Amino acid sequence: MKFNSLSHDEKLDVQKLVINCMDTLGGRNYFLGMIEDIKEAKQHPLLNKTSKFHFKHGTISWGKEIYKDKVMAIKNMLIKYSADNILEIKDDKLQKEIKNSIRTLGKLVYTINIKDGNDYTFSSFNTISEDNIEIDTMFQIIFFDSINNTKYILDYK
């Protein structure tokens, strides 16, 4: 998802999704603090062998260990391609890596547990149809987008 290339209505839908997550987690400061902690981590949080990432106000957990090649494949895909359907990538090597990542991460559910708050869950990918799979918006925003892009989404009018 390239936020700037979305229509006005699609941008508002993404903003509502992010605001819903933000409100569930306790507000703007908790949400942005979580993302800042993710960005400041020495290694990518998804690479933690415990399948958990601890931040100031809570924990993000998922079902199993994720290896570096899967995270790098997703990162490369987000940098190089703007198409929503990640199965349409023309680079054969990257497409193979993405398909392997989908097999590995496709069924994982991520849960954000906030101290004194509610839980928020999301997945890695959204399967639209058998030949159309998109990266989950919240997965991308939380683990891969910049903090400035997230603030831009929240402040969009």
pLDDT < 50 stretches in the chain: none
Residue 104: what pLDDT? 84
In this structure, what DSSP letter does residue 99 have? H
Residue 131: what pLDDT? 78
Global pTM value: 0.87
Q: Which residues of 122-136 are buried (b: 16+ CB within 10 A; e: fewer)?
A: bbbbeeeeeeebbbb
